[in-house]
């Protein structure tokens, strides 16, 4: 019971706490002074069942917060079944966030600053910090992890001032925010005006544009996103993070390449060996698209990554054609190009920039199990360890590729190893604190990157895809110019 002395208030009063509302009862002291008494306030779990005759559990469990992928255009917290991870002593939180233009449309000013989906993630982490102890989770041991756009989101959160102090470790799988598909791109206001024109709203001033868009049906707005693709899904992800400039509520005050983490945390990150099947498989299995790519590669490759907005795009394009396609457009080389340009090189470059700030652990996932996302292509021409393949060994099932029946014993060995590595990291900041599986060293080198290959066995190696990564290191890959917002009312 809690009692509060008051002179003016004798009626019942409702007080809201972080755990909910409690109602006070008006009372009088011996000398007639009015006060409010609050009875039966819960402050811990009820001591019933297995908690009878026991003190409050002394040890809270580490928390893992999952941020789903989906290219910032789709996805759901309910896509993934947590059976594998919850064989370990953790509390798992999965969260939704706004995607597509509803999550990222921006006019480049205060009327629609953007980054709503990323700010949703911050709000979720604040909720975890304030409430997770009630679920047995430790608010001082929170690991954020995600894949693809979720991995890039994790990387953004590592750099954003709004997320400072909300987590303590981070895992980015197949996605970093400095990748060409995830980093900010110019043309914020142009894209907003195009959407407005398509749905019959004024295109200026931006205040009127935004007010009108708020009245338009969700499905009508979302349908406009397809108009931004020139070929296939290229250029990718028209609505993504926006640079907001400095401000109290700014998620991204600068380009991520220019930001430094407010509090550097241990980072586990990596890729699959054939990430590029995510893009190449639909092309390889469609003869019309494959012929279009071969006949017009000088235009289509740059917008597919994309790098067509870079200052030396033509030079980069020529070098890419010489390096990957001098002997023709084989299926393997197309997949290799998309693997390197979209996922693997950006990941290794991000690690190089971060490794001196906090421990970084890098992995390459190369295990080909009984089930694979390449099965969805329905073609013998597509077979490998594709984008998101590692998720099949962290989550017991997912809604877009349901695993029928039991997993083979070897697949379950990989499940056991991966979930232990991931949860070890969540508990300690080190995936192999006892070296019982393997000694996974942190990254110290740029050119001889140390990494763990998760294949038929766990192997520590140095020098990831050296020739291919050295090629990308040699290219003039600066960030896209003039992608900063105006930060003023338009």
Q: Which two tokens stand for residue 53?
A: 């005759």
Determine the Cα angle at 402 with ends 395 and 459, to 5°.
45
Which of 106, 141, 147, 148 is flagged as catalytic? 148
148 has catalytic annotation: yes
| Contact of 235 with 229, CB cutoff 8 Å | yes
CA distance 84 to 449: 30
DSSP-assigned letters across all residues of 254-269: S-GGG---SS---EEE
Answer whether the bond into residue 235 is a cis peptide, omega within 30°: yes
**Quick one: which of 192, 182, 469, 234 has its CA closest to 351?**
469
Q: Tell which residue, 144, 133, 308, 303, has the closest CA to residue 231.
A: 303
Cβ(59)–Cβ(47) below 8 Å: no
Closest CA to 182 of 71, 65, 337: 71
298: Cα within 13 Å, side-chain hemisphere: 3
* Residue of 147, 225, 274, 275 marked active site: 275
| CB-count burial class (<10 Å; 0-12, 13-18, 19+) for 12 | exposed
How far does the chain reach from its first CA to its final CA, in angstroms? Answer: 55
DSSP state of 225: G
Does residue 9 carry a catalytic annotation? no
Q: How far is CA 45 from CA 55, 56, 129, in A?
A: 10, 8, 18
Q: Looking at 387, 389, 396, 453, which residue is catalytic?
A: 387
| Residue 387: active-site member | yes
Gap between the Cα atoms of 76 and 72, Å rounded = 11
Non-local (6+) Cβ contacts of 356 within 8 A are: none
Active site residues: 148, 275, 387
């Amino acid at each position: 019971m809690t009692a509060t002395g008051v002179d003016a208030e004798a009626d019942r009063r409702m007080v809201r706490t972080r755990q909910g509302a409690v109602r006070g009862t008006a009372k009088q002291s011996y000398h007639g002074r009015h006060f409010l008494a609050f009875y039966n306030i819960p402050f811990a779990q009820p001591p019933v069942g297995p908690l009878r005759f026991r003190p409050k559990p002394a040890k809270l469990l580490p928390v893992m917060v999952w941020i789903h992928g989906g290219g910032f255009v789709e996805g759901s917290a309910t896509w993934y079944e947590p059976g594998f991870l919850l064989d370990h002593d953790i509390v798992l939180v999965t969260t939704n966030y706004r995607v597509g233009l509803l999550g990222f449309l921006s006019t480049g000013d205060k009327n629609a600053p953007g980054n709503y989906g990323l700010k949703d993630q911050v709000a979720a982490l604040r909720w975890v910090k304030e409430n997770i102890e009630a679920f047995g989770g430790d608010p001082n041991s929170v690991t954020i992890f995600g894949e693809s756009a979720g991995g890039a989101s994790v990387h953004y959160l590592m750099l954003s001032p709004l997320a400072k102090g909300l987590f303590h470790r981070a895992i980015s799988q197949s996605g970093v925010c400095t990748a060409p598909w995830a980093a900010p791109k110019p043309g914020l206001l142009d894209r907003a005006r195009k959407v407005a024109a398509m749905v019959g709203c004024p295109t200026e001033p931006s205040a009127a544009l935004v007010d009108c868009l708020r009245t338009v049906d969700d499905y009508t707005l979302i349908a406009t996103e397809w108009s931004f693709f020139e070929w296939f899904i290229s250029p990718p992800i028209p609505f993504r993070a926006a640079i907001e400039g400095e401000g109290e509520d700014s998620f991204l005050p600068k380009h991520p390449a220019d930001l430094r983490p407010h509090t550097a945390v241990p980072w586990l990150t990596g890729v699959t060996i054939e990430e590029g099947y995510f893009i190449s498989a639909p092309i390889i299995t469609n003869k019309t698209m494959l012929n279009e790519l071969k006949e017009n590669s000088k235009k289509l490759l740059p917008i597919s990554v994309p790098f067509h907005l870079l200052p030396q795009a033509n030079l980069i394009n020529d070098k890419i054609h010489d390096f990957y396609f001098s002997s023709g457009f084989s299926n393997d080389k197309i997949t290799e190009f998309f693997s390197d340009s979209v996922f693997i090189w950006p990941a290794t470059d991000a690690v190089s920039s971060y490794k001196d700030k906090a421990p970084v652990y890098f992995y390459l996932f190369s295990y080909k199990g009984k089930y694979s996302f390449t099965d969805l292509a329905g073609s013998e021409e597509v077979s490998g360890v594709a984008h998101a393949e590692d998720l099949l060994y962290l989550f017991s099932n997912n809604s877009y590729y349901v695993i029928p029946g039991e997993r083979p014993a070897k697949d379950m060995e990989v499940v056991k190893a991966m979930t232990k590595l991931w949860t070890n990291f969540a508990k300690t900041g080190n995936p192999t604190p006892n070296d019982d599986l393997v000694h996974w060293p942190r990254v110290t080198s740029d050119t001889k990157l140390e990494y763990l290959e998760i294949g038929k066995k766990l192997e520590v190696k140095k020098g990831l895809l050296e020739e291919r990564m050295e090629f990308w290191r040699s290219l003039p890959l600066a960030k896209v110019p003039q992608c900063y917002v105006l930060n003023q009312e338009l």
